[in-house]
Amino acid sequence: MKRRAQNPFPGVTRVYDRHGKARWRFRKKGRPSAYIPGEYGSEEFRQAYLQAAKGDAAEVSVRQHQHGTFDWLIEHYKRTPRWKKLAQISQKNLGNEFDRFSREYGTRRLSTLRSEHVEAIIAKKADSPAAANRLLKLLRRLALFGIKKGLRADDPTVGAERYKENPDGFHTWTEDEIQKFEEHHGVDSKPVRALRLMLNTGAARQDVAALGWQNVKDGRISYRRKKTGGEVDLPILAELRDVLRALPAGRMLFLTHTGDRPYKATSFGNWFHDQCVVAGLPHCSSHGLRKAGATRLADAGATELEIMAFLGHRTPDEARTYVKKFNRKRLGDTGMEKVARAKSEQGLSNRVQRLDIRRRKALKQKEN
């Protein structure tokens, strides 16, 4: 049997772009992907391949993009200290947004972008206001960076209005929904274990997928948030202890695929939403449990700093939202209690007055 010739450039494959043009793409685990310029096997190709193999994919990709295009701008942005300071998960999410934008508008030039173009671009996402607003934010990011690069003097996104979206974002689980989920799956199930982990630790999907006994010590659970780098250190409450007690002491991950394979953030989020759907809660999500946990704290009278510590944030800005909601609810309750008390006192006064009238009438009749 004839053996297949070994690829002299491991990780390089031929792909075709949307125009049908053949291109060479480098992809290797642990290295940024990149398109390799030049003719296959040429000196230019070899040098670009060596750079990509070393992890300098940004240097490779910039060469192939025309100056001033959005593709050129995005690749230069990825070389800035601001980009390099982003957490890995933030780089991944923003990188995915860049890729989606680049597929449709990458070859266009920032210098030709006008305000009406901006409005037309985000209008394509009008059915999803949150997505439209993220796209506007991305355009503004690129426009401001382009100004720094001298591609234009003004920001074409100025005046473009954000779409109105749900101010509360992801749905916050109610206590009834939590109970319904647990009753459907059963307390000893993996879905309930996942729910209680997020609800009692404030962990996001990328954080909870990495939690294990290595995060537990002296009755406390601690971890560092992947998105913000914030540290979380909390006591383990009884309801969480109950679902962890049965797990082996040496278990490095509390939640895994079949075969003890670790979850990725996206795959865990998709799996957990499936569990919500089968429990009759399609509007619920993993992120909503972080909010439910923060709401529990606020309802118990926790301060902004205490909620901030639970969420793993560096500032109390978001925690302030939960405290304000609780205060508004509490003030509403106390206000209505005052109204009820006033009504009660007024009713008592009226009854006394009516009794006084009857008493005077009775006395008058007796005198007669």
Query: Per-residue pLDDT tens for 254-293?
Result: 999 888 899 988 899 999 999 999 999 999 989 889 888 8
For residue 330, the SS3 value is helix
Residue 365: the pLDDT is: 67
Q: Long-range CB contacts (< 8 A, 24+ apart) of 225-230? A: 225/312, 226/87, 226/88, 226/89, 227/87, 227/89, 227/90, 228/87, 228/312, 228/313, 228/314, 229/87, 229/314, 230/311, 230/312, 230/313, 230/314
pLDDT at 18 over 80: no
Mean residue pLDDT of the chain comes to 83
The answer to which of 31-35, 170-174, 351-355 has the lowest mean pLDDT is 351-355
The answer to which of 113-117, 138-142, 195-199, 290-294 has the lowest mean pLDDT is 290-294
Residue 360: the pLDDT is: 64
Question: Residues for the chain: how many in total?
Answer: 368
The answer to which of 49-53, 93-97, 184-188, 335-339 has the lowest mean pLDDT is 335-339
pLDDT at 27 over 50: yes
Structure confidence at residue 128 as a pLDDT band (50, 70, 90): confident
Question: Looking at residues 33-38, what average pLDDT do you find?
Answer: 77
The answer to which of 16-25, 123-132, 147-156, 245-254 has the lowest mean pLDDT is 16-25
Reported as a single tens digit per residue, the pLDDT across 171-210 is 889 999 999 999 999 999 999 999 999 999 999 999 999 9
d(CA 107, CA 112): 12
% residues pLDDT > 90 (the chain): 37
**Between 117 and 312, residue with greater pLDDT:** 117
DSSP 247-308: S-TT-S-SSB-TTSPBPPHHHHHHHHHHHHHHTT-TT--SHHHHHHHHHHHHHTT--HHHHH
pLDDT at 358 over 90: no
% residues pLDDT > 70 (the chain): 82
Q: Which domains does the chain have, with CATH numbers?
A: 180-320 (1.10.443.10)
Structure confidence at residue 314 as a pLDDT band (50, 70, 90): confident
Question: Looking at residues 121-142, what average pLDDT do you find?
Answer: 89
pLDDT at 355 over 70: no
Question: Looking at residues 138-144, what average pLDDT do you find?
Answer: 95
Question: Looking at residues 287-315, what average pLDDT do you find?
Answer: 85
pLDDT at 62 over 60: no
d(CA 12, CA 17): 15
Question: Looking at residues 110-119, what average pLDDT do you find?
Answer: 93
pLDDT at 165 over 90: no
The answer to which of 24-28, 69-73, 158-162, 269-273 has the lowest mean pLDDT is 24-28
**Between 256 and 37, residue with greater pLDDT:** 256
Cβ-proximal residues to 38 (8 Å cutoff; 6+ apart), any chain: 44, 45, 48
Question: Looking at residues 74-103, what average pLDDT do you find?
Answer: 88
pLDDT at 162 over 80: yes
Residue 347: the pLDDT is: 62
